[in-house]
Amino acid sequence: MKRLLLFCCMLFAAGASLTTAQAEDLSDWKLPPVPVPADNPPSKAKIALGHQLAFDTRLSKNNSMSCAGCHRPTTGGGGHTARAFGHGGELGRWAPSWDNAAYSTSMFWDGRAASLEEQTGALPGHMGPISAPGEMAGDVKAVVQRLKAIPAYNKAFSKAFKDGVTRQNIAKAIAAYERTLIARHSPFQRYVHGDSKALSPAAKRGFELFRNKALCIECHTAPLLTDNAFHNIGVPQVGPLKEDKGRYVVTKDKDDIGAFKTPSLYNSASFAFFMHDGAFSTMQQVIAHYNRGGDPNNAHQDGLIEPLHLNAKEQSDLIAFMQSLTDPNLNHIHRPALP
């Protein structure tokens, strides 16, 4: 009888702690509506057109390369090689995911572009993948002519815009499409919206570690999992560049040497590579890097990076949490039929 009573008490205690967990207000973690520039409101026609353009190799010099060729759905919207290969050969940086990039207040690892529209490189005066010689190497005027010569594209542009095929509208359609690549259906988002079963116990423990002992939250802040700022976290320099000074090249501020934009971690468990130069290829390596305190010999490393003393179970719990950030829909985006 005594034992039964004890058992009941334990059940009650477990129940009580469960309700406290459920009662925790997680609304800070809900992904907000995507910011949209006033001059580029979305429409179904525009998004469908952007989806096609993002998968169309005719936006590149020799019809050889599309946005999605480097930002692969199957690898979480990021590159499938450690550094991207463009028209000019191997670039110095890994292609980061374009999933959730719509929330970023600046684009690229060093933040040198201000918006998704600018980032495409289709706008006059802006260098980006479509125009960059090392990437798709496009002559944007020639790309416009090429698309104009395709009747179905003409029709699709007229449906989406008043003024048909222009460089601005190429940029706008692709950006409108990118604004749909949001990890709303990740288990973690379902969890913060009230589905307490969406996370495994391991992922819940990982979420606790993420917010406390593992210090991840210092930079991967709620709700976007990025502070939209730049930090040097002591990533080893690999690839064709001798040194990548990162944000420093934009600001010329010594504190920015080797600092890169904090990436949003959504869908990162599907990445084939990690970090600005693709230095790591598994999440285990990423966590091990943080656990050892990054690179203590790196004079410019952020003071927030320090040894974490996570044991093996804690590391695997943290990885379970990272996996809960994956929206499977984003990893299964198809190549649309092209005109």
* Residues of the shown chain interacting with ligand HEC in the complex, contacts defined by CB under 6 A: 54, 65, 67, 69-71, 84, 86, 91, 93, 95-96, 98, 101, 104, 107-109, 116, 119-120, 129-130, 135-136, 174, 214-216, 218-220, 231, 233, 235, 260, 262-263, 265, 268, 274-276, 286, 290, 302, 304-305, 318
Chain centroid to Cα 76, Å, comes to: 8
| Shortest Å, Cβ 272 to ligand HEC | 10
| Shortest Å, Cβ 168 to ligand HEC | 14
Query: CA-CA distance, 80 to 73, in Å (whole number)?
Result: 10
Identify which of residues 189 and 232 has a Cβ nearer to ligand HEC in the complex.
232
| Shortest Å, Cβ 44 to ligand HEC | 19
Identify which of residues 256 and 302 has a Cβ nearer to ligand HEC in the complex.
302
| Shortest Å, Cβ 11 to ligand HEC | 34
Tokens standing for 324?
């809960």
| Shortest Å, Cβ 101 to ligand HEC | 4
Identify which of residues 107 and 182 has a Cβ nearer to ligand HEC in the complex.
107
| Shortest Å, Cβ 326 to ligand HEC | 12
Angle, CA 218 vertex, CA 30 and CA 115 arms, to 5°: 60
Query: CA-CA distance, 69 to 301, in Å (whole number)?
Result: 33
| Shortest Å, Cβ 265 to ligand HEC | 5
Query: CA-CA distance, 228 to 216, in Å (whole number)?
Result: 14
Cβ atoms of residues 60 and 164 within 8 Å: no
Identify which of residues 184 and 300 has a Cβ nearer to ligand HEC in the complex.
300
Identify which of residues 15 and 168 has a Cβ nearer to ligand HEC in the complex.
168
Distance from first CA to last CA of the chain, Å, rounded?
A: 76
Tokens standing for 272?
């084939």
Long-range Cβ contact pairs of 247-254 (< 8 A, separation 24 or more): 247/110, 247/111, 249/110, 249/112, 250/110, 250/111, 250/112
| Shortest Å, Cβ 328 to ligand HEC | 18
Identify which of residues 192 and 224 has a Cβ nearer to ligand HEC in the complex.
224
Contacts of 146 (CB under 8 A, 6+ apart): 58
Cβ atoms of residues 107 and 95 within 8 Å: no
Cβ atoms of residues 198 and 324 within 8 Å: yes
Query: CA-CA distance, 65 to 85, in Å (whole number)?
Result: 10
Q: Give the closest residue to 274 by CA, choosing from 141, 106, 95, 120.
A: 95
Identify which of residues 108 and 191 has a Cβ nearer to ligand HEC in the complex.
108
Identify which of residues 248 and 290 has a Cβ nearer to ligand HEC in the complex.
290
Question: Residue for token digits 């390596």?
Answer: 285
Question: Residue for token digits 């379902």?
Answer: 190
Identify which of residues 167 and 220 has a Cβ nearer to ligand HEC in the complex.
220
Residues in the chain: 339
Q: Give the closest residue to 316 by CA, choosing from 226, 209, 198.
A: 209
| Shortest Å, Cβ 130 to ligand HEC | 5
